[in-house]
Amino acid sequence: MPLRICVAAFLQRSSQSVKLEVVLKPLSFPPVYSHMFTALARCSVLFFLFLACVACQPNEEISTYTTERTSAPRPPFNKEEVASQLDHTLAAMLPVDKTVWFFKLAGPAEAVARHRDEFNRFLKTVEKGDSAESPLAWQVPDGWSEKGPSQMRLATIVVPDEKEDLEIAISSLPLSGPWDEYVALNVNRWLGQLSQGELSKQAILEQTSKIETATGQATVVELSGILKQTPTMNPHAGMTGGAKKAAPPKSAQAVAPPSANAGFTFETPEGWQPGKTSMMRKAAFNIGTGDKQAEVTVIPLPTSAGPQITDVLANAQRWASQVGLPPETNLEEYIEKTEIDGNEGSFIRLESPAETNPQATMLVAMVEHGEKVWFFKIVGNSEIVDEQQDRFEEFLASVHFE
């Protein structure tokens, strides 16, 4: 006889009562299995009812609405506009004998671009000069003007521009080491001036080009970034005093070179903070804060570069020009003797006059050791340099060449 099961279920979605009737007909199974199959059938009915109740629950509805934007939409990125707001440095390096001459044009990107071709044509006219006072000669294009020597420059070429005049700075440094490394060193120095990080030698060489000049091949590179604003030395300056043999150190922090293969060790005076070193700068320190700052550097240059590096007076004239001292000034009377690690050397002090504001002071010691001339220099705010002179002399006394 069939087994009938009636179940009433309330379906919420349709709000109607539903009567379910399930008829279970007995199958032809042995008696021993009949009760088991009856139980399974009842479980199946209950499972079906559970699914029906779950499926009939109402679905959650998603609501949407519109609101006003709280800020203006961001405009699309315009790389040309961003590039036009950067600064550019267009520089050429021209080796002549054992000296490298630098021609550098720096300014807003658009302004430099307007004069790029003129700069390249100007380079092609550079040739050797006819005297030691005029080691190079060139043809100044129409409309351009030339200024005489100032600070570290042999000359300055003024390039008129529709917005603001630009300058081509012409300067020199002795050639030292392999040419590719020398190029990379200076390019990374210019990148630092543009607030950019250093690049590998290979990456730098891939960005350079060559221009044939009347005196040889120049290596040219153009860099972009944001030029740092650096204070310039006052054009009015004088000199006072000097220093004898360095005094023994009184207070120090550590005895160690700033980097591997620096070629010397020293003791760092208290309060000196590590500065930026490079292939040329074997040590560097920063002193002071705000407007009252000074920098200490240690730079060795090869004696093979000749008198412009080894001659004390020639160097003194260059340092004097950095503070605007007239070229006719007699510098010999300001050169003092000093000694660094048993090597006799020279010391000179250049100081701005009392009426100069702000005052700047430079102390330089130079000594020849082996095949190099070592230059130890502190330059900056006069008040800071005056306070640090004793410590600078202690620093010199602690130096030991390797």
- Give the span between the Cα atoms of 372 and 386, in whole angstroms: 29
Residue 173, number of CB atoms within 10 A of its CB:
18
Task: Tell me the average pLDDT across 311-340.
Answer: 80
> Could you tell me the two tokens for 147?
């200024």
Q: Which residue has the higher pLDDT, 247 or 133?
A: 133
What was the pLDDT predicted at 276? Answer: 84
Q: Hey, what are 23's tokens?
A: 């008829």
Angle 178-266-255 from CA coordinates, rounded to 5°:
115
Q: Under a CB-based contact definition with an 8 Å cutoff, are residues 196 and 287 in contact?
A: no
Domain boundaries, the chain: 3-55, 82-225, 264-401
pLDDT tens-digit readout, 41-74: 666 666 666 666 655 555 566 777 677 666 666 6
CATH number of 264-401: 3.40.1000.10
pLDDT digits (tens, 9 = 90+) for 127-185: 988 776 678 899 999 999 998 776 567 789 999 999 899 999 998 887 877 899 889 98
222's CB contacts (< 8 A; 6+ apart) are 88, 89, 90, 91, 112, 116, 207
Taking the model in full, what pTM does it have? 0.48
Helix spans in 56-178 (H) = 79-84, 109-114, 116-123
pLDDT tens sequence across 253-263: 444 445 556 78
Q: Are 236 and 227 in contact (CB under 8 A)?
A: no
